[in-house]
Amino acid sequence: MSAAEIPVSEWKRKDLLGLEELSAEEIILILETADSFREVLERPIKKVPALRGKTIANLFFEPSTRTQVSFDLAAKRLNADTASVAARSSSLLKGETLLDTALNIEAMKVDAVVVRHGSAGVPHLLAKNLSASVINAGDGCHEHPTQALLDIFTMRQRFGSLAGLRVAILGDIAHSRVARSNIWGLTKLGARVTVVGPPTLIPPGIEEMGVDLSYDVDEVLARVDVVNVLRIQRERQEGNLLPSLREYRMLYGLTLERMARVPENLVVMHPGPVNRGVELDPAVADGPWSVILDQVTNGVAVRMAVLFLLMGEQTREGMRVSGEVL
């Protein structure tokens, strides 16, 4: 069955925890739903009443700019109410457990919780214990499903289809929840994925996820349509996995010199935040190859789609985003 044949009303999931658990049809349904919301974002009044009366809490226990603001805007543009909890100002500092914090938030009649945490599995723990929907906004090195969905949405916007698209994921694969979610999503949709980076930053057995592996960035860049460049995650690295950032830039960074040798139409993506001058030279991040800010814009539409599918009226009527505007 193609995604177009799945009625929105058949979306049965309470939570979005990762792309590993989604079928290709479910991923396409999210992308197609996001198409409609992407159009809403171009209107003078960027708001529809799809989640009127619902309340969404953002629980971010790790720093975030893009994901937190994007979820907040997505909720507001669907007319939901929002509340935010940050670890540094919460009662976690007084000894309250994470689960107690979440249960207390839910007791305030919250319908969905968006959670980011440094430990893998926290969203799954909350999903088991809450009646509210739980959305993973990044858990440790495990998954960042909405980032991968917005990355895939941006590739689909550019190329039409993911089938046969050649995508490289470059950099710190070992510590990257973005890489893991991208690999699950892209391979399910038929893209051909190559991971490339220093041997110390690529986990053993990665090929079992259905990807090719290379340590030669120039060879890979010569034969792909898209390169998704990952941030060097200094905060998650234990030990000396890199000799120096200067050497990393020379061997794996997208420098202007390296970009002079790649195919003209190569698309450069990055989930952000960018370490300018390390994995991406500023002239590349801001250059004609880059779709980084398109990714950010698309992220709002993708998160609107996820919130809507998890919590909305879940009917095509509810999808009539051209309807009443509050």
Give the binding site for ligand CP (CB under 6 A). 64-67, 138, 147, 271-273
Tell me how far, at minimum, the Cβ of 64 lies from ligand CP, in Å.
3
Asked if residue 253 lies in contact with residue 279, where contact means CB atoms within 8 angstroms, the answer is: yes
**Which is nearer to ligand CP, 65 or 315 (by Cβ)?**
65
For the chain, give the longest Cα–Cα distance: 57
**Which is nearer to ligand CP, 55 or 147 (by Cβ)?**
147
User: Strand 55-60 and strand 112-117: pairing?
Assistant: parallel
Within a 10 A sphere around the Cβ of 175, how many other Cβ atoms? 22
Tell me how far, at minimum, the Cβ of 69 lies from ligand CP, in Å.
8
Tell me how far, at minimum, the Cβ of 136 lies from ligand CP, in Å.
11
The Cα–Cα gap between 290 and 70 comes to 20
The Cα–Cα gap between 86 and 277 comes to 30
Tell me how far, at minimum, the Cβ of 265 lies from ligand CP, in Å.
24
**Which is nearer to ligand CP, 50 or 59 (by Cβ)?**
59
Residue 70 is encoded by which pair of tokens?
């994007």
**Which is nearer to ligand CP, 64 or 79 (by Cβ)?**
64
**Which is nearer to ligand CP, 116 or 258 (by Cβ)?**
116
**Which is nearer to ligand CP, 148 or 162 (by Cβ)?**
148
Measuring CA to CA, how many Å separate 170 from each of 270, 296, 298? 10, 19, 21
Strands (E), the chain: 55-60, 81-86, 112-117, 133-139, 166-170, 192-196, 212-214, 226-229, 267-269
Tell me how far, at minimum, the Cβ of 154 lies from ligand CP, in Å.
13
Tell me how far, at minimum, the Cβ of 244 lies from ligand CP, in Å.
24
